Structures are given as C-alpha cells and as structure tokens.
Amino acid sequence: MALTEKELSALEDLLSREKLLAAKCKGYSQLCTDQELKQKCQVLAGKHQTHYAKLLTFLNEGGAQ
C-alpha cells in the first residue's frame, strides 16, 4: 500500500528532526566537560542517528511503494 502525500510529508519532517537532534546531541557532547553528561549526550546522538537510519531505510526499501 502506497503512502499518502501527508504521510510522506510527516516522514520527511521526522527525518529532518532526527538528523537535527543527532547533530545537536553530538555537538553538546563535544562541549561537555562532565564525562557522565558527555556520555549521555553521545548515547542520545546515537539513538537519534539510528532512528534517522531506520526511517530512511523504511522509505528506501518500499515503505513508500
């Protein structure tokens, strides 16, 4: 079943937000001097990057058929 234009638009928004959040968390981790906080930011950056990759894979592998 093909995705509607509205669904595709929502997925594009999600992709954009996940990419931005990954970049922000990575940037914050580089600014942190507290190692525990730095690690938490790095973990969050990784989670957002994973979400981005999963959404992109979904779209590229037939989610948008």
Positive or negative torsion for Cα 41, 19, 13, 65: negative
Count of all residues that appear for the chain in the document? 65
pLDDT band at 64 (very low <50, low <70, confident <90, very high): low
How do residues 33-51 score in pLDDT, each as one tens digit?
999 999 999 999 999 999 9
- Extract the tokens encoding 44: 């969050």
Determine, yes or no, domain membership for 29. yes
Determine, yes or no, domain membership for 4. no
**Residue 4: left if φ>0, alpha if ψ -120 to 50, beta else—which one?**
beta
Determine, yes or no, domain membership for 21. yes
Give kind and range of the element (H or E) at residue 50: helix 35-58
How do residues 1-45 score in pLDDT, each as one tens digit?
688 899 999 999 999 999 999 999 999 999 999 999 999 999 999
With beta carbons less than 8 A apart as the criterion, state whether 42 and 25 touch.
yes
Supply the range of the domain harboring residue 27: 11-58
